[in-house]
Amino acid sequence: MVKYVLKRAGMSIVTIFLLITVVFFLVRLMPGDPFNNGKMTPEIQANMEAYYGFDKPLPVQYVKYLGNILQGDLGYSMKYTNRTVIDTIKGSFPYSFDLGIRALVFAISFGLVLGTLAALNRGKKLDFVCIMIAIIGTSVPDFIMGSVLQYFFGIKWGLLPVAQYLGFQYTILPSIAVGFYTLASISRLMRAGMLEVVQQDYIKTAKAKGLSKWRITWKHQIRNAIMPVVTMLGPVVAAVLTGTFVIEALFAIPGMGKYYVESVQMQDYTMVLGMTIFYGSFLIIANLLVDIAYGLIDPRIRLAGK
Amino acid sequence: MKRKLMAILMSLTFIVGMAAGCSTPDTKVEDANQSNESEGSSDNTLRYSLESEPPTLDPQLANSIPSATVLYHMFDGLLRNEEGEVKPAAAESYEVSEDGMTYTFQLRETYWSDGEKVKAEDFVYGIQRLLDPAAASDYSFIGLIIKNASQVNTGELPVEELGISAPDESTVVIELENPADYFPSMLSNSSFMPCRKDYVEKYGKDFAADPENNVYNGPFTVTKWAHGDRITLEKNDQYWDADNVKIDKVEVLTVADANTAVAMFDKGELDFADVPTPLSANYQGQTISYYDGANDYLKLNQAEGPFTSKNLRLAVNYAVNRSEYVKLAHDDIYEANTRFVLPQVNGVEGEYGDEYPYEAFPAEGDADKAKEYLAGALKDLGVSKPEDITVELLTADSEKNRKEAEVLQAQIQEALGIVVEIKQVPYKQRLQMENEKDFQMVFTGWVPDYPDPISYLELWTTDSPYNHAGYSSEVYDGYIETANTTTDSKERMDALFNAEKTFCEDAVVVPLQLRQKEMLVNDKLKGLETYFVGINYDYLHAYFVD
């Protein structure tokens, strides 16, 4: 097990390093330049480039940047000139994280329940309702869901706040908007998993043994059916925690998403790299954790992976 | 079955309860500040929102109108440009030399928010810092009017050689490169605000990053900056004119989505909000309209390509039906521009547009004249049929740009029969292509930095770094030269007007639109001003009524 974890951790570090390198050079290839604001003169531009060290050859800049990263220095943003990339992340990520966690709690809890209920009531009305919810969740994009929720619950009926992130009631609509797609996926996977598992031999054995329905459902069915859900959870968690940009913009939540998108448009190199490193590491670590969790839950994986 | 359901329901309740109990980041902070209802009249707090957060509150590094608007309320420059009227601010009086090149300001006795006196050296330091290459301000171009500014900026001369000095603690002397009637109005810009050297040296790159990393001498001070969320300003009792500031507190929120901002206004959470074009129909008659100073046009490359032909340039100018264009592309919210300079800028005494009325091209276009010029263009370019002429319309990649381009394409193709191809690229790339003259016809614009015609006209002299159209006219250069050397205001304005006429007669660009915005304002809020140069809103003298 330890060997397994170490091997995966080592590969993760290599992946992150590759990511940084590729993005560093890729971002410079973008046409246009970071300083031109339509009112730049050639002299001022030359001065800015010297100030940021962009007049040195690219490999030299790369080495310097790597050196800085290893000391924990991600540099200052080129657009938010007085703020470091790390401070920006520290100030905004908690909001994205908070929103993402709430969305996940919503998606996982309701998704599992919905999927289980649907499977247990297969063919009946409850199943149909659950399937409909899943279809809506999968096909409606998050910003439409968000806008619709904001319009009806916020503006028209005035039941919940329209924007900002100042307390529990403010988090309800954004969390639902962010989590709905995941809820739909989880409920469908859970339903399919439960239905498949119920046909397995060991369920028949358990029934023959005289175990109560409750015990069968919980101890055997759910635990096995949940495997596909756990598999997707790693990337899903990372995606939800980092993919809140549109909803943040819609509900005026001061999260991190906008820096990610905006830094590319504005060619704020330090911010682009900082965001890439952060998100990339996050995803890679999330996947690593899922692999480890997988190994723990399912002994078959652990043994096979050796 | 029932037990199972009960168990599930209980777990769900547990989870929801946990979620409700966990507070959002920062909730514990000052709930009084962040109340749901604006109720501006009861807590005397003005709330408004910006689509994007001011990137910086450092006066010399600020490069956007949202930053400039907030800075205008935090600092006090030598003079203050209140919607076209230049009033004394930190300086209670000033004199101009005979040749118009030297300005001498007398400071009144004012104090910074930390109790220190505002000294002349603070202004010298601030303005030197603007041009200092070590500060790397991308807005330093605005200071190039000052003597030796461009040499200081490139490092040829040391900062001390800049044409600004403090003969004593309460006198500031500024020398210019050439006479400029509009210079006093520029001093209201955030770039020319005073700056405390001790704070810059103490905080280095972190200067002004947070409220405590700077001090303020304006009507409001910054008390809190929740990055990405809101900036909180509070009335500065040290401000010399504090008696005329009626609002106690201002909250500048960041709300990226314009529709959300309007929704927040409807719920009373904001005191004013811009209405995006698609929603403007819903608020007919409830909004006020203001110019934001931006002037958009099609820049035509006359160094190479089909637009070297003046006839073709004129043909396109008469082919475009500007009235119809603003209606189709912008729901009539923008105003069609039939000349070049924004008419609202300052003339000699009043508005430039009133003193020098001018229509270069008819608002509805002129199909016959267009065809006349087209005939000339065909000869210039050596082709026999209009279809043989293909021009490329370059623009940025937003939805709005697409719509604008399609309307123009349709109009030009229909009126002239030539082929127009649309090319959309990201904004930064478009800027670069303009710099490199890699375009034939590009949709671009100009936002003025000061309310004078020359802000638009100095771009087109032969040696201007902003002249990407390849336009070179001795006559035009001559008029600009006159405007920059004469000390007679009327003679200067006449020269500028002649320059504008020459410019339009040479059809250097296709003027299109003057951008306007529609704004909803809380009925209980009075005294809010809008302006088209440097800042969008002025709430210095705003107040609430019951």
The answer to whether residues B95 and B104 touch, using CB atoms and an 8 Å cutoff, is yes
pLDDT tens digits for A217-246? 776 777 777 777 777 777 787 777 777 889
Per residue, the 3-state secondary structure of B225-241, as one string, reads EECCCEEEEEECCCCCC
Nearest CB to B429: which of A32, A34, A37? A32
- The helix or strand, by DSSP H or E, that contains position B46, with its residue range, turns out to be strand B45-50
Cα-based distances in Å from B64 to A80, B395, B477 = 12, 21, 30
Q: By CA distance, what is B137's nearest residue in A?
A: A48
pLDDT at B540 over 80: yes
Percent of chain B residues topping a pLDDT of 90: 76
| DSSP 3-state of B529 | strand
- Chain A CB contacts of B52 below 8 Å: 262
Residues with Cβ within 8 Å of B377's Cβ and at least 6 positions away in sequence, in order, are: B306, B309, B311, B312, B315, B389
How far apart CA B532 and CA B542 sit, in angstroms, is: 18
- Chain A CB contacts of B154 below 8 Å: 43, 46-47
Report, as an integer, the average pLDDT of B284-307: 91
Please tell me what DSSP assigns to residue A84: B
- Chain B CB contacts of A39 below 8 Å: 139, 141, 449, 466
Asked if B133 and A47 come within 8 Å (Cβ–Cβ), the reply is yes
pLDDT tens digits for B156-211? 999 999 999 999 999 999 999 999 989 999 999 999 999 999 999 999 989 999 99
pLDDT at A148 over 60: yes
| DSSP 3-state of B91 | strand
Q: Tell which of A82, A99, A101 to mutate to test the B interface (max B CBs under 10 Å).
A: A82
How far apart CA A78 and CA A52 sit, in angstroms, is: 9
Task: Give how far the C-alpha of residue A47 lies from the chain's centroid of Cα atoms, to the nearest Å.
Answer: 39
How far apart CA B408 and CA B398 sit, in angstroms, is: 16
Pairing of strands B230-235, B220-226: antiparallel
Task: Give how far the C-alpha of residue B325 lies from the chain's centroid of Cα atoms, to the nearest Å.
Answer: 23
| DSSP 3-state of B275 | strand
Q: What is the DSSP string of A112-171?
A: HHHHHHHHHTTTSHHHHHHHHHHHHHHHS-HHHHHHHHIIIIIIIS--S-SS---SHHHH
- The helix or strand, by DSSP H or E, that contains position B484, with its residue range, turns out to be helix B474-485
Residues with Cβ within 8 Å of A70's Cβ and at least 6 positions away in sequence, in order, are: none
Distance of residue A244 Cα from the nearest chain B Cα, in angstroms? 14
Asked if B25 and A94 come within 8 Å (Cβ–Cβ), the reply is yes
How far apart CA A241 and CA A257 sit, in angstroms, is: 10
Report, as an integer, the average pLDDT of B397-424: 94
**Reported confidence tier of residue B30, pLDDT bands at 50, 70, 90:** very low
Number of other CB atoms surrounding residue B380 within 10 Å: 15
Ranking A230-234, B108-112, B317-321 by mean pLDDT, the lowest is: A230-234
Percent of chain B residues topping a pLDDT of 70: 92
- Chain A CB contacts of B20 below 8 Å: 168
Which residues, listed in sequence order, are joined to residue A18 by a DSSP beta bridge? none
Nearest CB to A254: which of B36, B228, B264? B228
Distance of residue A221 Cα from the nearest chain B Cα, in angstroms? 14
**Reported confidence tier of residue A149, pLDDT bands at 50, 70, 90:** very high
Report, as an integer, the average pLDDT of B414-424: 94
pLDDT at A300 over 80: no
pLDDT tens digits for B206-265? 999 999 999 999 999 999 999 989 999 999 999 999 999 999 999 999 999 999 999 999
Which two structure tokens, joined as six digits, stand for B27?
């909730």
How far apart CA B68 and CA B81 sit, in angstroms, is: 13
pLDDT at B7 over 60: no
- Nearest CA to B77 among B65, B90, B88? B90
How far apart CA B73 and CA B220 sit, in angstroms, is: 6
Asked if B8 and A249 come within 8 Å (Cβ–Cβ), the reply is no
Nearest CB to B138: which of A44, A154, A171? A44
- Chain B CB contacts of A217 below 8 Å: 4
Which residues, listed in sequence order, are joined to residue B509 by a DSSP beta bridge? B299
Nearest CB to B431: which of A32, A94, A161? A32
Sign of the C-alpha dihedral computed for residues A228, A229, A232 and A233 taken in this order: negative
**Reported confidence tier of residue B377, pLDDT bands at 50, 70, 90:** very high
pLDDT at B21 over 70: no
Nearest CB to A249: which of B23, B27, B256? B256
Q: Does B23 touch chain A (CB under 8 A)?
A: yes
* Higher-pLDDT residue of B67, B40: B67
**Reported confidence tier of residue A123, pLDDT bands at 50, 70, 90:** confident
How far apart CA B430 and CA B35 sit, in angstroms, is: 43
Residues with Cβ within 8 Å of A178's Cβ and at least 6 positions away in sequence, in order, are: A99, A100, A103, A142, A240, A243, A244, A247
- Chain B CB contacts of A263 below 8 Å: none
Distance of residue B539 Cα from the nearest chain A Cα, in angstroms? 23
pLDDT at B199: 96
How far apart CA B442 and CA B437 sit, in angstroms, is: 10
Place of tokens 């996982």: A108
Q: By CA distance, what is A169's nearest residue in B?
A: B20
pLDDT at B3: 56
Report, as an integer, the average pLDDT of B12-20: 62
Q: By CA distance, what is B434's nearest residue in A?
A: A38
The answer to whether residues B272 and B519 touch, using CB atoms and an 8 Å cutoff, is yes
**Reported confidence tier of residue B38, pLDDT bands at 50, 70, 90:** very low
pLDDT at B311 over 90: yes
Asked if A166 and B253 come within 8 Å (Cβ–Cβ), the reply is no
Q: What is the DSSP string of B214-225?
A: S---SSEEEEEE
pLDDT at B303: 92
- Chain A CB contacts of B61 below 8 Å: 81-82
Cα-based distances in Å from A8 to A19, A232, A237 = 16, 18, 19
Q: Does B264 touch chain A (CB under 8 A)?
A: yes
Q: By CA distance, what is B270's nearest residue in A?
A: A163
pLDDT at B86 over 50: yes
pLDDT at A16 over 60: yes
pLDDT at B112: 95
Which two structure tokens, joined as six digits, stand for A17?
């390093």
pLDDT at B20: 59
How far apart CA B169 and CA B173 sit, in angstroms, is: 11
Number of other CB atoms surrounding residue A38 within 10 Å: 15
Asked if A81 and B61 come within 8 Å (Cβ–Cβ), the reply is yes
Q: By CA distance, what is A170's nearest residue in B?
A: B24
Nearest CB to A32: which of B227, B263, B426? B426
Region of B433 on the Ramachandran plot (φ > 0 left; ψ -120 to 50 alpha; else beta): alpha
Cα-based distances in Å from B63 to A37, B4, B71, B346 = 9, 62, 11, 23
pLDDT at B61: 92
| DSSP 3-state of B201 | helix
pLDDT at A4: 77
pLDDT at B65 over 80: yes
The answer to whether residues B277 and B516 touch, using CB atoms and an 8 Å cutoff, is no
* Higher-pLDDT residue of A142, B271: B271
- Nearest CA to A236 among A47, A145, A100, A114? A100
Residues written for chain B: 546
- The helix or strand, by DSSP H or E, that contains position B444, with its residue range, turns out to be strand B441-446
pLDDT at B259: 92
Q: By CA distance, what is B465's nearest residue in A?
A: A41
Distance of residue A218 Cα from the nearest chain B Cα, in angstroms? 10
Mean of all residue pLDDT scores within chain A? 85
pLDDT tens digits for A76-97? 998 888 899 999 999 999 999 8
Which residues, listed in sequence order, are joined to residue A164 by a DSSP beta bridge? none
Which two structure tokens, joined as six digits, stand for A30?
């973008």
- The helix or strand, by DSSP H or E, that contains position B259, with its residue range, turns out to be helix B258-266
pLDDT tens digits for B126-163? 999 999 999 989 899 999 999 999 999 988 999 999 99
pTM: 0.85
Q: Between residues 323 and 362 of chain B, which touch chain A (CB distance below 8 Å)?
A: none
- Chain B CB contacts of A51 below 8 Å: 133-134, 136
